[in-house]
Structure formats: structure tokens, C-alpha cells
């Protein structure tokens, strides 16, 4: 009933085979759409260690004035805290 299909990965652009067994598995799970990424890109997306390193931004803690880095771009209208001060505020 199912035959192997060649698809193109939307992330890396490489072609990959959507096997008959995979199609049967997708159908059994009720998945209506074909995979848009190859196995490598799907695995990299699922694995937290495979993601790129976060861009860190230097800031001064609003509580203790300690220099630290945060993984987001701080906005001027919101205070930013170091890890220790943030944990103290969170637990209080």
C-alpha cells in the first residue's frame, strides 16, 4: 500500500526518504502531514544539547549591582537580576 517517497528537508535542504514503514507508522498514529525535516534535523531539534549556544548579554543586577550575563536582550523598562537575586525573589 505504501511506497518510499523522496522528500526535501525544509531546514537543511537535503533530500531524504520517507519510507513505507515510516508512512505506515505515521498513519497508525493519525498524523496527516508528511515530515518536513530529515531525521538528522528532527533529532537536532529535539535534543537540547544540539542547539546552538545562546547569545549572552552583559547586564548589571538591579538588586546587588553585580555584573552578570543573561540569555535574553534586556529591556530598559524591566529590571534584570543575577541568578542569585532572581532565585531569592522567586522563593520569597
Helix (H) or strand (E) holding 71: none
Same-domain pairing of 73 and 44: no
pTM of the model: 0.49
Residue span of the structural domain in which 73 resides: 57-91
Based on the fold, state whether residues 18 and 43 are members of the same structural domain. yes
User: How do residues 52-78 score in pLDDT, each as one tens digit?
Assistant: 667 889 999 999 999 999 988 998 889
63 and 44 together in one domain: no
The tally of domains found in the chain comes to 2
- Residue 42 and residue 9 in one domain: yes
Residue 5 half-sphere exposure toward CB, CA atoms < 13 A: 15
Cell matching residue 26: 505515521
Please indicate, yes or no, whether residues 16 and 40 belong to a single structural domain of this protein: yes
| Of 30, 35, 34, 57, the residue nearest 45 (C-alpha) | 35
Residues 46 and 77 in one domain: no
Amino acid at each position: 500500500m505504501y511506497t518510499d517517497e523522496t522528500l526535501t528537508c525544509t531546514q537543511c535542504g537535503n533530500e531524504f526518504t520517507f519510507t513505507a514503514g515510516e508512512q505506515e507508522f505515521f498513519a497508525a498514529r493519525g498524523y496527516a502531514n508528511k515530515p518536513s525535516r530529515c531525521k538528522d534535523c528532527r533529532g537536532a531539534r529535539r535534543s537540547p544539547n544540539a542547539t546552538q549556544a545562546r547569545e549572552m548579554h552583559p547586564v548589571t543586577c538591579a538588586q546587588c549591582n553585580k555584573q552578570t550575563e543573561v540569555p535574553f536582550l534586556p529591556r530598559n523598562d524591566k529590571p534584570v537580576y543575577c541568578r542569585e537575586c532572581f532565585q531569592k525573589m522567586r522563593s520569597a
